[in-house]
Homo-oligomer: A and B are copies of this chain.
Amino acid sequence: MAAVDYQQLLQDVMAEALGGGARGRSADYIPALAAADPGAFGMAIATVDGAVHGVGEWERAFSIQSVSKLFTLALALAEGGDGLWRGVGREPSGNPFNSLVQLETEHGIPRNPFINAGALVVTDRLLELTGDAVGAVREFLRTESGNPEVGTDDAVAASEARHGHRNAALAHFIASYGNLRNPVDSVLAHYYAHCAISASCRDLALAGLFLARHGVRVDGSRLLSRSEAKRINAVMLTCGTYDAAGEFAYRVGLPGKSGVGGGVLAILPGRGSVCVWSPGLDAAGNSVLGVAALDALTTATGWSVF
């Protein structure tokens, strides 16, 4: 097999993604996100050997938002094991990402760790296990990316809190079923803080490599067993992109996790990790150009897992 020219590949993929017409709209529920240019674009690929390539604004930090849910999940499983699944399911939700309906039907057990409700439960468990959920995520991202600048944007976190009645409702609702172990306010504070972490495509692509390496971190230590890592990939594929997981699997064919800051992190099992960033979102909350670029990538390379 000829060596892949990743730099050329990224140039081609970016060109194709930007060539499409639609850009979507930046998230507007908090001012910090609304200011972003919907057409901004960056993309990075890291390979399992630790090399990283990028195009566009691939080194510019952005608000990772729900992409953080992937890391809280991995860390909570690494620290606490399978018991996590007693408090959160792993089925697609079939409903918009912050819906309360299903939570009520299913008695306070959120459907999966990637909807807001589920991420609150995971944050609660990680907080219980480590005493500092946001610190644990931040430290992990810094180590894996080698970038000590990765950190929470406090203005974004404060803004999320001010506009966070929905998440507060979710947290109280889950608490009413006895499915939170820390006070609602603490859980929310850690949740807002890890969603407000700023990192670049470069940082996230490197930080995602532990899943491409089936559980092995940058320093060669094992965070998760091979089987656990594969299972996180499975949950990403079925649940990682809000109510468009089926569409994402259909078009892209990779495990991926998106955030309303415009980031999408996707895993190429055994090969590497890709992060795209572009703030314009579609109706489901996923980056329009981000998904288009990943679609172009797997179409060009056949790297879909299917």
Contact B246 A238 (CB under 8 A): yes
Which residues of A approach B to under 8 Å, CB–CB? 89-95, 99-102, 104, 111-112, 165-166, 168-173, 175-176, 184, 226-227, 229-231, 233-235, 237-239, 243-247, 249-251, 253, 255, 267, 269, 299, 302, 304-306
Contact A104 B100 (CB under 8 A): yes
Contact B238 A253 (CB under 8 A): no
Contacting residues, chain B, for A169 (C-beta < 8 A): 100, 168-173, 176
Across the A-B interface, the 5 shortest Cβ-Cβ residue pairs: A94-B94, A92-B92, A165-B176, A233-B306, A169-B172
| Whole-angstrom CA separation of A94 from B269 in the bound complex | 26
| Whole-angstrom CA separation of A243 from B234 in the bound complex | 15
| Whole-angstrom CA separation of A251 from B231 in the bound complex | 7
With beta carbons under 8 angstroms apart, the residue of B166, B237, B267 that contacts A172 is: B166
Contact A234 B253 (CB under 8 A): yes
Contact A92 B305 (CB under 8 A): no
- Return 7 A-B CB contacts under 8 Å, by A number: A92-B92, A165-B184, A172-B172, A226-B302, A235-B246, A237-B249, A238-B238
